[in-house]
Structure 1
Amino acid sequence: MGSTEKALLAAEHGVVAFDLSHLEHTLYEVLPDAISDTITRDIGSLEEGFCTEGLILDADATITQHLDIWRSQRIFMYRRSPASAVGSHVLVALIGPNSASAVAAILGVLPQSGMVFATDWHGARILFAGNGPSYGRTATLAIPVDVASEVFSALMAEGVSPGGLEAFDALRTEGGELNWGSDALPSLTPLEADLSHLVDPEAAFTGRRAYRRAMRKGNERVVVGFKTNSCSPEPGSGLRAGSASGSVISVMKWPKSSDTVGLGWLEPAPVFHRGSKAFGDPLPQLEANVGGSWFPVSLTDPPFTREA
């Protein structure tokens, strides 16, 4: 069994730690207007001790960044895309049913969804939140660099397993999450990416006028989830449904199973026969191109659920 498969199984039954320090992250005393004015949420109304997500759009309302923002005296923000320089903190995502208990064991506070906590670790201030950048029961920690190795050792002593980025990306795909830093994505609006809940249409942000036009116009393309055990599509493989065409964005193969699940995009947004989507056999049929041949795949909504 490979390291990625071991990490996926540990995330299902225990807890895995993923070092996400490659993501751009910054601690602000006050969030500069040049940043807050571009975010699709009113960050000024975010209360201390809470966290939220937001997007940055371009002038055409296309998503360029997906952000996580924490407020705990100061504001900690990280982007779900690679950084150009090393940050002041080590960013760690804990994924699995035992995530909260592992954090509580070493920091003395149980993470709660949507909330941010700060605690001292031998004089260093550690921030953590009861949510994370990947699907699952998670906690995310922002650890000052000078105490990161000690915190990691304490987590390992609590039975936490280390995981690599390949396993993390697989879990992200399983949760139906896109990565604007690494996925092969077309231009997507929040509506097309099913992220409109992260946009306050009344907030002042770059691309607001174009976003409002997109709300009236409707989707030109759509992101879909699929599942198959008859072929092995890869990112970039062709995807089609009737007259709509696109490509596969990301895939993952479940451990101890022949099933592959993935995300893809189609344009124009197809209209599937009412009721057919629930049974995984839509009309028109969703198909993936592997090795020059088209194979039917089941349409399904992420987050994907593993069968026993």
Structure 2
Amino acid sequence: MPRSPLHTVHVRLGARFVDFAGWEMPVRYDSVLSEHQAVREAVGVFDVSHLGRFLVEGSGSTDLLRGLLCNDIADVDPGAAQYTMSLNEEGGVLDDIIVWRWSDERYWVIPNGANDDGIRARFRAAAPSGVTIESIREDTALVALQGPDSPHVFTTVFGLVPEHFRVTTGDFRGTPVRIAGTGYTGERGGEIAIAREAGVAMFDALLDAGATACGLGARDTLRLEMGYPLWGQDLDETITPLEAGLRWVVGWDHDFVGKAALERQARQGLAKHQVAFVMDGRQIARHGYPMRAGTSSGTVTSGNYSPVLGRGIGLGYLSPPAKPGAAIEVQVRGKWVSAHRSKLPFIGRR
């Protein structure tokens, strides 16, 4: 099983490990709750080296991305990042992806860890002769620095603070770093890539500057409070961006794989839709639990305890789409319990 370039740091810090996307990654160091609170109230640092990342460069790169991804990379200038998706011909989500645009024809494409090989192969199969596709995951470490105090840590360690969804370059003790003002928690911060041999020293420097080491358990509760989807649960090949409530991710003014299916779905209506809910009692909904609302039924795709709200929250799909006023129920340990629909994000914009 692959390990992060930062594995020795996690062992030293007493991390508990899990198999995540086929990688041995830290799920927590202290507790999920304390690490969640560190990010919401101060600053935390996550090892996200399991995420995919590959270079797309050369004449024709922009056209390649436009044809394979549903958001339109031509809408952002060099020096920006964009959230997007790779779809199949039926409009289902093969992966949700972040793209870092460095110049007119140079990009980093960052898929989910489990999908890195498949998405990179899809790009290679469609790439014209002038485009280079090259994996960079094996040669780099990737961390996410997140929280309201992250600007202080960024300034201390790198002498800069990334702007929201902008990409930039910097330096750590003579080693180049690439930084994007992105993340998966809803807090201020960014993601930092560095040569793997310098990763441990950089992670230690971030800790010394005040960041709390956080595992993927807290990353999951943080993203769920913001209503951010997790591929493989809230998104997959059978779910379209429209069903997921992510119409804003679709750039309708360009051609891409899956566009015809989305246009057809927009005309004909949805067979299912995503709903966000908050439990009325103390029960916690979990992935796979049945749910219903009026004559609609479905399944919880993500559910957990919200440390900020002090209640269980979740996402799920109902088919046919439930009427706006229909009461939601979730089956917890064989008993139907009540919940109420929520707007996203659950805790408000950060």
TM-score by length of structure 2 reads 0.78
Q: Which whole-Å CA distance do the structure 2 matches of 1:132 and 1:50 have between them?
A: 14
Match of residue 262 from structure 1? 314
Q: 2:202 aligns with which of 151, 158, 169?
A: 151
Q: Which has the higher helix share?
A: 2
Q: Which whole-Å CA distance do the structure 1 matches of 2:181 and 2:101 have between them?
A: 13
Alpha-carbon spacing, 1:50–1:19, altered in 2? closer, same or farther (3 Å)? same
Question: How far off its partner does 1:3 sit?
Answer: 1.6
Match of residue 285 from structure 2? 233
Q: 2:144 aligns with which of 78, 88, 93?
A: 93
> Does the aligned pair in 2 maintain the 1:135–1:303 contact within 8 Å?
no
Aligned-partner SS, 2:217: helix
Q: Which whole-Å CA distance do the structure 2 matches of 1:172 and 1:15 have between them?
A: 15
Alpha-carbon spacing, 1:256–1:140, altered in 2? closer, same or farther (3 Å)? closer
Q: Which whole-Å CA distance do the structure 1 matches of 2:252 and 2:332 have between them?
A: 40
Question: How far off its partner does 1:248 sit?
Answer: 0.9
Aligned-partner SS, 1:101: helix
Question: How far off its partner does 1:14 sit?
Answer: 0.6
Question: How far off its partner does 1:72 sit?
Answer: 2.2
Alpha-carbon spacing, 1:2–1:186, altered in 2? closer, same or farther (3 Å)? farther
Alpha-carbon spacing, 1:257–1:196, altered in 2? closer, same or farther (3 Å)? closer
1:81-160 alignment to 2 at 5 Å?
81-82=113-114, 83=116, 86-160=137-211
Q: Deviations over 1:226-246 (max 9, x none)?
A: 112332221101110001111
Match of residue 250 from structure 1? 302
Match of residue 5 from structure 1? 33
Paired AA for residue 71 in structure 1: R
Paired AA for residue 345 in structure 2: P
Q: 1:78 aligns with which of 92, 106, 110?
A: 110
Paired AA for residue 84 in structure 2: G
> Does the aligned pair in 1 maintain the 2:81–2:101 contact within 8 Å?
yes
Q: Which moved more, 1:119-128 or 1:56-65?
A: 119-128
Question: How far off its partner does 1:45 sit?
Answer: 5.1
Q: Which whole-Å CA distance do the structure 1 matches of 2:187 and 2:171 have between them?
A: 26
Alpha-carbon spacing, 1:177–1:29, altered in 2? closer, same or farther (3 Å)? same
Match of residue 295 from structure 1? 337
Alpha-carbon spacing, 1:134–1:15, altered in 2? closer, same or farther (3 Å)? same
Alpha-carbon spacing, 1:111–1:256, altered in 2? closer, same or farther (3 Å)? closer
Aligned-partner SS, 1:297: strand
Unpaired segments ≥5 residues, structure 2: 1-28, 118-134
Q: Deviations over 1:18-54 (max 9, x none)?
A: 1111111113333486554211133245322111111
Q: Which whole-Å CA distance do the structure 2 matches of 1:151 and 1:209 have between them?
A: 46
TM-score by length of structure 1 reads 0.88
Match of residue 129 from structure 2? none
Q: Which whole-Å CA distance do the structure 1 matches of 2:319 and 2:300 have between them?
A: 12
Paired AA for residue 134 in structure 1: T
Q: Which moved more, 1:109-118 or 1:183-192?
A: 183-192
Q: 1:59 aligns with which of 89, 100, 105?
A: 89
Root-mean-square deviation (CA), in Å? 2.3
> Does the aligned pair in 1 maintain the 2:81–2:100 contact within 8 Å?
yes
Q: Does 1:212 align with 2:263?
A: yes
> Does the aligned pair in 2 maintain the 1:136–1:175 contact within 8 Å?
no
Aligned length: 296
> Does the aligned pair in 2 maintain the 1:72–1:118 contact within 8 Å?
no
Alpha-carbon spacing, 1:247–1:144, altered in 2? closer, same or farther (3 Å)? same
Question: How far off its partner does 1:81 sit?
Answer: 4.1
Aligned-partner SS, 1:114: coil
